[in-house]
């Protein structure tokens, strides 16, 4: 694999974090992978995936990337008491070295969220034990990645990184943050376990098993699902993807798997053009893939109906051990890459309802993973309001949303596609 192999995907690598909630009332082995990079000559130059050691190179001509990938012991293990009291656990991986000027998937995305959380007093500094920010993580192994992605792709990526390093266009800084695993054990008596949120970039749900796609290089949620199954015995995984674009990579990874249910709502006709209603899975996995393409202009009413009439009955029938969420905020009416009419209030309701669904069906085990969202204001406000939903606090969406810019939703088209999905899946 050569560096130019990445050229069709102009922003297809960066930090990947995934952390999975395990066992009833327990958290363990939250995993983060780091793949920082910069663009050189219009092509992305990713770092070396190293095993068991930190690595160093140097910068030439101002083009550099930085990373750390230590395989040491867990460096941050909150006490049982902290986990018992917590209502939300989150981690931050902004991939600051991965940036292309003027690209919508910029390195400002996660810092904008973190800044909003600070201003809105939704951090451990203000909230104490209610909120935990995980700081240090054990990196995922190549085997973890290869549970979803082809080994030929992973090894090819390694070779490309080696070549870039040898040519002096990569700088790997061992003094940076260690993206590692933290083992977090919650009290067995915890009756209301915390929700997890991985504030990461770039997104992952377009990455297909054989390679990168869209803005994505590794399938964050898909790898997390396999890890939950393999390491923690959480066999049945329910994945909800409410990004405005179809999560084709996640769709493909589990298309024939009866133990992972992938449900995607997305704008009809948007990139990458997949996710039709009749894409329902194959072989043993037939019926465990559900795609619901919403017509442009769909908004809060449409999504509330979809949740009540499609998502809830699907999850109830599937009986998951854990719920994972590809949380894309690019369906917001202010987002530049699509034309749905979700609002900050829509995302608050989604977060609140999914949290309750997890509590009802799988002991509260639920982890959100940031996907899209490219208007920094709507992204940061919507994530912050999701945090409020996890904490059981009232929404402040009315302070940001402007109802005057909304127009009538295409209710007839929405009803038709919902009815078609319900018929296809016998709901």
Q: Which residues are catalytic?
A: 206
- Edge to edge, what strands does the sheet with 138-139 contain? 16-22, 26-33, 138-139
* C-alpha span between 167 and 151 (Å, rounded): 24
Could you tell me how many helices (H) and strands (E) the chain has, helices first?
A: 12, 13
DSSP-based three-state secondary structure for 51: coil
* C-alpha span between 410 and 298 (Å, rounded): 6
- φ/ψ of 397, rounded to 5, equals -60, -30
CA 112-221-17 angle, to 5 degrees, is 50
* C-alpha span between 422 and 427 (Å, rounded): 5
> Would residue 166 be called left, alpha or beta, if left means φ above 0 and alpha means ψ between -120 and 50 degrees?
alpha
62, 169 in Cβ contact below 8 A? no
- φ/ψ of 315, rounded to 5, equals -65, -40
Q: Which residue, 258, 233, 246, is CA-closest to 293?
A: 246
* C-alpha span between 181 and 22 (Å, rounded): 13
165, 172 in Cβ contact below 8 A? yes
Query: What residues contact 399, with CB distance under 8 A and at least 6 apart?
Result: none
Query: What residues contact 246, with CB distance under 8 A and at least 6 apart?
Result: 264, 266, 270, 271, 272, 273, 274, 275, 291, 293
Q: Which residue, 232, 225, 34, is CA-closest to 139?
A: 34
């Amino acid at each position: 694999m050569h560096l130019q192999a990445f050229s069709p995907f102009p922003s297809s690598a960066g930090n990947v974090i995934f952390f999975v909630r395990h066992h009833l009332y327990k958290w363990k082995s939250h995993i983060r992978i780091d793949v920082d990079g910069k663009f050189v000559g219009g092509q992305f130059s990713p770092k070396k995936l190293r095993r068991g050691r930190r690595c160093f190179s140097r910068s030439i001509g101002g083009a550099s990337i930085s990373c750390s990938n230590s395989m040491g012991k867990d460096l941050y293990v909150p006490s049982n008491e902290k986990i018992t009291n917590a209502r939300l656990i989150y981690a931050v991986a902004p991939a600051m070295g991965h940036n292309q000027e003027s690209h919508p998937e910029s390195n400002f995305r996660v810092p904008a969220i973190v800044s909003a959380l600070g201003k809105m007093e939704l951090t451990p500094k203000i909230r104490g034990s209610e909120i935990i920010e995980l700081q240090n993580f054990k990196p995922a192994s190549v085997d973890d990645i290869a549970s979803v992605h082809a080994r030929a792709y992973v090894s090819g990526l390694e070779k490309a990184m080696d070549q870039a390093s040898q040519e002096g266009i990569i700088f790997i800084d061992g003094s940076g943050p260690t993206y590692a695993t933290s083992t977090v054990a919650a009290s067995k008596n915890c009756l209301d376990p915390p929700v997890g949120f991985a504030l990461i970039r770039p997104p992952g749900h377009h990455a297909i098993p054989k390679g990168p796609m869209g803005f994505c290089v590794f399938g964050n949620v898909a790898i997390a699902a396999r890890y939950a199954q393999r390491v923690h015995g959480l066999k049945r995984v329910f994945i909800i993807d409410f990004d405005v674009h179809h999560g084709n990579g996640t769709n493909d990874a589990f298309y024939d798997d009866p133990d992972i249910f992938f449900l995607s709502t997305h704008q009809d006709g948007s990139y990458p053009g997949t996710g039709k209603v009749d894409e329902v899975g194959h072989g043993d996995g037939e019926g465990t893939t559900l795609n619901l393409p919403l017509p442009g202009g769909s908004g809060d009413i449409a999504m509330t109906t979809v949740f009540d009439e499609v998502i809830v009955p699907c999850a109830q029938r599937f009986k998951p051990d854990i719920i994972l969420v590809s949380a894309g905020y690019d369906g917001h009416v202010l987002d530049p890459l699509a034309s749905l009419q979700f609002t900050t209030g829509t995302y608050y309701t989604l977060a609140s309802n999914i949290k309750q669904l997890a509590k009802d069906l799988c002991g509260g085990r639920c982890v959100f993973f940031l996907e899209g969202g490219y208007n920094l204001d709507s992204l940061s406000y919507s994530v912050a309001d999701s945090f409020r939903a996890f904490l059981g606090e009232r929404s402040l969406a009315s302070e940001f949303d402007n109802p005057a810019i909304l127009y009538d939703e295409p209710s007839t088209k929405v009803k038709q596609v919902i009815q078609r999905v319900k018929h296809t899946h016998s709901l």
